[in-house]
Amino acid sequence: MLLSLYQSVFESLGFEVLATSSPNEALEHLSSHGVDVAILDYDMPEMDGGALASMIKDQCPMLPVILYSGNPFIPHVARRWVDAICAKAAPRAELLATIDRLSQNAQREKNNRLRTFTPSSNH
């Protein structure tokens, strides 16, 4: 029910949301949809957010991953796989600013890679 609420809030802000409570479904979404940012909870029934973040980074290393959690005790090993951590108790504006910042950074990196690896006709 909480996931549906988050989905509705983000959609009302203009985001297209692919929501699931299953980490395995989340990984399937990555391979079948264009995803700009992954937002994960740390406490999930099948695996923790750190484990899912590591699997996401294996599959999509440049995809920004945000850990959005109410758990104040996120292990250091989980932190190495995420680009940002936002507390659920923080104002929503903090999460939105983090999404915006990471999306812009990812787009800049993507554009830089395209410029760097553009084939030259001067061979």
What CATH number should be reported for the domain holding residue 41? 3.40.50.2300
Sheet holding 65-69, edge to edge: 38-40, 65-69, 84-87
| Predicted pLDDT of residue 18 | 86
Model pLDDT for residues 22-67, shown as the tens digit of each residue: 888 888 888 888 788 999 989 887 899 999 999 999 999 989 999 9
State the pTM of this model. Answer: 0.82
Residue 60 lies in a domain: yes
Residue 48 lies in a domain: yes
Residue 43 lies in a domain: yes
Domain that residue 6 falls in = 2-116
Residue 25 lies in a domain: yes
Q: How confident is the model at residue 110 (pLDDT cuts 50, 70, 90)?
A: low
Residue 123 lies in a domain: no
Residue 121 lies in a domain: no
> What is the Cα 74 distance to its own chain's centre?
16
Strands 38-40 and 84-87: unpaired
